[in-house]
Structure 1
Amino acid sequence: MKTAIQFGAGNIGRGFIGGLLSLAGYRVVFADIDSNIIDRLNATGEYKIVVVDEDSEVQTIRNVSGVHVNDESLMDVFEEAEIVTTAVGPVALPKIASTIAKGIKRRKEKDVSGFLNIIACENLFGASDSLKGYVLECLTQEEKEYCLKYIGFPNSVVDRIVPPGRPENEDILTVRVEPFFEWIVDELAFKGEIPNIEGMITTDNLSAFVERKLFTLNTGHAVTAYLGKALGYESIRSSINDSNIYNCVRKAMEESGAALVERYNFDKEAHNNYITKIINRFKNPYLDDYVDRVGREPIRKLSKTDRLIKPLRMAIGYGLEYSNLVIGVAAAFHFKADSDAQSVELQNMIKTDGIRNTVVKVTGLNDMPDVVDKIVDAYCRISDGKLF
């Protein structure tokens, strides 16, 4: 049986990528730091995925096990692995890079000449490229040469909503997911033969799909969370069911969508249908998510290449409307969640440096002072309760 290593045994790791790998015939070894999850995986060797909709479907995922990310036995698995995937969150990629580098070193020491592809399945543009950079920093020149010859790092775009939490008395491994999913991988970056995994789509134009997803789903999700938080809602569903929030989110997604249509020549009607499908996913009563979770790490999400500022810049560059994207950005600067370190840092920056300086520093919009003015104005309107 083929072997896969899945870094991250959380809801996305189990409910999406790890599940697809198992269903494709792989023995899946989950590498994680959660000893409870690891112990349970090893005790049962299987878990359930509940696909929630009006007609729920239960999938049994078999041939799975777990290992602590720092356990030396993981290196033995690396020797035989044919694919490695991650679902750990972008900020954790540097943390797992040294472990992956150790695995590559082990393969070199054992003269493994088979190819290995490592796919970072994260909400980050070029996540596999980033991971590759972190890994190479941990290797000697000779090890780097081996890595570049035998190890592929194809970028990918992933899309599946996996809400947190579970009903009481349900097994800790059981995970609930929506029916919709996309896993699209850059076929040009694979080393060796592209694996045949049902549900994994390959393309030679990944950037179009990456930006389509990041600047539609993730943009809309973020704007919904930040506006919902600003207006006192706790969940995504309750937020999007507020007509004012719905209208703003829809228009923000249409603004980013218009820029995507210009950039990649997408069919306008098809893209508007894609927007509608995504908003309906936000409304799915079986998938309710929390604004605090969706809105976490606001500094990263406000960076110049991420889901808010990049489509804003694109819209401006094409001479298109962007006023609702501005509102979404402004709402993000109001995001306050004591459990999220970036939220706390952002609010401290605003207190210390003021909102305008913070906007410039976080977004990199120093070259667009008029746009910064509009963000600050919207921020103040939110503060005064006069947004809608």
Structure 2
Amino acid sequence: MKKAIQFGAGNIGRGFIGKILSQSNFEVCFADVAKDIIDELNQKHEYNVEIVGKNRRVVTVKNVYGVMSNGDEIIEKIKKADLITTAVGPNILKLIAKTLAKGIEEREKSGNEEYLNIIACENMINGTSFLKEEIEKYLSQEIIEGYMKKYIGFPNSAVDRIVPPMDQKNNILDVKVEEFREWIVQKAAFKGEIPKIEGMELTNNLMAFIERKLFTLNTGHAITAYLGMLNGHNTVKESIEDPEVRKVVIDAMKESGNVLIKRYNFERDIHEKYINKILTRFENPHLKDEVFRVGREPLRKLGFNDRLIKPLRGTLDYQLKNESLVKGIAAAMKYQNENDPQAIELNSLINELGVKETFRKVSGLDDEFDLEERVFTQYRSI
């Protein structure tokens, strides 16, 4: 039986990637710093995933266990793994890179000539490439150009599934997910034989799918949360059912969609069906997706290559409408959450520098298109 390590035993790790790997006959080792989760995995070796939507069902995921990702045991697991995936969040990739580098060194020392593929399943563009760069910081040039180049593959991927937090009453491992799922992986970057994994789609045009998801689901999700919060809503479902919020979200996804149609020659009617599918997902009554959770880390979401600014940049490149995207960005800059360090930092920047200068600083955009004034105007109006 093939051995997989899933870094991150949170809701995405268990409810999406770990589930897929287990159902594809992998022995799945979860690596995490949450000792209670790891202990429970080692005691039960299974958990339930509740899939909600039109056809609710519960699937039991088996043949799983866990190790602490900051302990010595994980290195031994990396030495023998056939596949490594991550769902830790973009900011944590740097932290696990040193561990992965040590594991690769140990594989080389032990003479392991089996292929290993490492796939970052994160909400970021080219997450695996970023992880690879971080890993290389801890390796010698000899290992990078020799062993790693020959035996270690780093395919980028795009993942899409809404997995909100769950109220664990009995089993802290159980998780709830929506029916929709998408895991698209860069075919050409694999080393050795590509593993047969149920639900993993291979492509040679990954960026089109990455940006489709980023510009549609992620953009729409974030704007729904930020505007919903400002309108007094608690969940994404409540927010998207607010006619005022819904109109802005749909218009913003159409604006970002126009960029995709221009850039990748997507068929307009097919993309509009994709937008409608996203709206249906936001409306799922079985998912209590809180706007505070979706809106967290606003500085990252307002970054140059992330879900709000990158589609806006595309509209500038192709001289397309972007009024609703600008409104969504202004709403993001109003995000308040005393438990979110990035929200606190964003508010401090606005108090210190003002809205316009803060927008320029966090977005990385200059004022060639008078964006600062437009964002400021929307910021005041909402």
User: TM-score range, shorter-chain basis?
Assistant: over 0.9
List aligned pairs for 1:223-242, cutoff 5 A.
223-242=223-242
Alpha-carbon deviation of 1:170? 3.1
Amino acid across the alignment from 2:121: C
Q: Would you say 1:219 and 2:219 are equivalent positions?
A: yes
Q: Who is 2:166 aligned against?
A: 165
Amino acid across the alignment from 1:314: G
List aligned pairs for 1:89-168, cutoff 5 A.
89-145=89-145, 146-166=147-167
Q: Post-superposition, which runs of at least 4 consecutive aligned residues in structure 1 deviate over 3 A? A: none
Structure 1 residues 326-358: Cα deviation after superposition (integer angstroms, max 9, x where no partner) = 000000000011111111000000001111100
Q: Would you say 1:278 and 2:255 are equivalent positions?
A: no
Structure 1 residues 142-201: Cα deviation after superposition (integer angstroms, max 9, x where no partner) = 22222222111100000000111225x231111110110000000011111111101000
Q: Which runs of 5+ in 1 are unaligned?
A: 383-388
Q: Who is 2:10 aligned against?
A: 10
Amino acid across the alignment from 2:7: F
Amino acid across the alignment from 1:201: E
C-alpha contact 1:117 1:190 (8 A) present in aligned 2: yes
Name the CA distance, whole Å, in 2 between partners of 1:185 and 1:49: 23
Identify the range of structure 1 (146-155 vs 213-222) with the bigger mean alpha-carbon deviation. 146-155
Name the CA distance, whole Å, in 1 between partners of 2:299 and 2:232: 21
Q: Who is 1:336 aligned against?
A: 336
C-alpha contact 1:365 1:372 (8 A) present in aligned 2: no
Q: Which runs of 5+ in 2 are unaligned?
A: none
Amino acid across the alignment from 1:214: L
Q: Who is 1:385 aligned against?
A: none
The SS at the match of 1:65 is strand
List aligned pairs for 1:33-44, cutoff 5 A.
33-44=33-44
Structure 1 residues 207-247: Cα deviation after superposition (integer angstroms, max 9, x where no partner) = 00000001100000010011111222221111111100000
Name the CA distance, whole Å, in 2 between partners of 1:348 and 1:226: 18
Name the CA distance, whole Å, in 2 between partners of 1:232 and 1:54: 28
Structure 1 residues 57-102: Cα deviation after superposition (integer angstroms, max 9, x where no partner) = 1111111000000221111211221100000001111011111111
List aligned pairs for 1:1-388, cutoff 5 A.
1-145=1-145, 146-166=147-167, 169-382=169-382
Identify the range of structure 1 (121-130 vs 231-240) with the bigger mean alpha-carbon deviation. 231-240
Amino acid across the alignment from 2:173: L
The SS at the match of 1:287 is coil
Name the CA distance, whole Å, in 2 between partners of 1:373 and 1:358: 12
Structure 1 residues 20-76: Cα deviation after superposition (integer angstroms, max 9, x where no partner) = 000000000000000010000000011111111243111111110000002211112
The SS at the match of 2:139 is coil
Name the CA distance, whole Å, in 2 between partners of 1:203 and 1:166: 36
C-alpha contact 1:98 1:138 (8 A) present in aligned 2: yes
The SS at the match of 1:47 is strand
Name the CA distance, whole Å, in 1 between partners of 2:70 and 2:143: 21
C-alpha contact 1:282 1:288 (8 A) present in aligned 2: no
Alpha-carbon deviation of 1:369? 4.7
Name the CA distance, whole Å, in 2 between partners of 1:148 and 1:376: 48
Name the CA distance, whole Å, in 2 between partners of 1:125 and 1:314: 15
Structure 1 residues 123-155: Cα deviation after superposition (integer angstroms, max 9, x where no partner) = 000000000010000111222222222111100
The SS at the match of 2:97 is helix
C-alpha contact 1:228 1:234 (8 A) present in aligned 2: yes
The SS at the match of 1:163 is coil
C-alpha contact 1:159 1:183 (8 A) present in aligned 2: yes
The SS at the match of 1:113 is coil
Identity among equivalent pairs (%): 51
Amino acid across the alignment from 1:275: I
Q: Who is 1:386 aligned against?
A: none
Name the CA distance, whole Å, in 2 between partners of 1:99 and 1:33: 13
C-alpha contact 1:94 1:134 (8 A) present in aligned 2: yes
C-alpha contact 1:6 1:29 (8 A) present in aligned 2: yes
Alpha-carbon deviation of 1:320? 1.3
